[in-house]
């Protein structure tokens, strides 16, 4: 069997500040697939991993949808961000995606959690658009 090399075609990064801490976003294209990493806050970690696989929508035949499978580490809520990002990337880019998410802030309110999720979705959209412009 022939040897295969790991080919990283493209890497896009963005960093934002939230409550004086950084949140890092990285989109990596490997072959025809995507790895997306979002981490940061007071204690960056791996809290959830979501895998998105695109497929034709069952409701609207000419549209793409995606199926998401998720692993959440005990005590973490990072699946909220991981699932949204995996669904969006696999559906919009028609690519398999693995999302690794781990953002932790000490004493974050529900309002702030929603804001972090929204900012993460916005950055994901920005990186998808930038990626598609480069192709």
- What pLDDT does residue 82 have? 97
Domain total for the chain? 1
- 6 in a domain, yes or no? no
- 134 in a domain, yes or no? no
**Residue 133's pLDDT band (cuts 50, 70, 90):** confident
Print the domain residue range for 78: 11-108
Rounded CA gap, 33 and 28, in Å?
8
- 1 in a domain, yes or no? no
Q: Report CA-CA distances (Å) from 35 to 60, 75, 89, 114, 118.
A: 27, 23, 10, 23, 20
- 76 in a domain, yes or no? yes
**pTM (global) more than 0.75:** yes
- 35 in a domain, yes or no? yes
Residue 99's H or E segment, with its range, is strand 97-104
pLDDT tens for 59-103 read 988 899 999 999 999 999 999 999 999 999 999 999 999 999 999
pLDDT tens for 23-45 read 999 999 998 999 999 999 999 99
Classify 4 as helix, strand or coil.
coil
- What pLDDT does residue 54 have? 96
- What pLDDT does residue 132 have? 87
- 132 in a domain, yes or no? no
- What pLDDT does residue 56 have? 92
**CATH, residue 38:** 3.30.230.90
- 78 in a domain, yes or no? yes
- 2 in a domain, yes or no? no
């Amino acid at each position: 069997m022939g040897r295969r090399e790991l080919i990283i075609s493209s890497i896009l990064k963005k960093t934002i500040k939230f409550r004086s801490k950084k949140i890092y976003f990285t989109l990596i294209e490997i072959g025809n697939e995507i790895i997306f990493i979002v981490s940061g806050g007071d204690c960056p970690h791996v809290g959830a991993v979501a895998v998105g696989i695109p497929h034709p929508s069952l409701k609207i035949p000419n549209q793409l949808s995606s199926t998401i499978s998720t692993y959440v580490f005990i005590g973490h809520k990072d699946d909220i961000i991981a699932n949204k990002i995996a669904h969006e990337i696999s559906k919009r880019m028609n690519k398999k995606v693995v999302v690794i998410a781990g953002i932790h802030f000490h004493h974050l309110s529900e309002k702030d959690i929603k804001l972090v999720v929204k900012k993460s979705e916005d950055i994901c959209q920005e990186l998808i658009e930038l990626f598609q412009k480069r192709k």
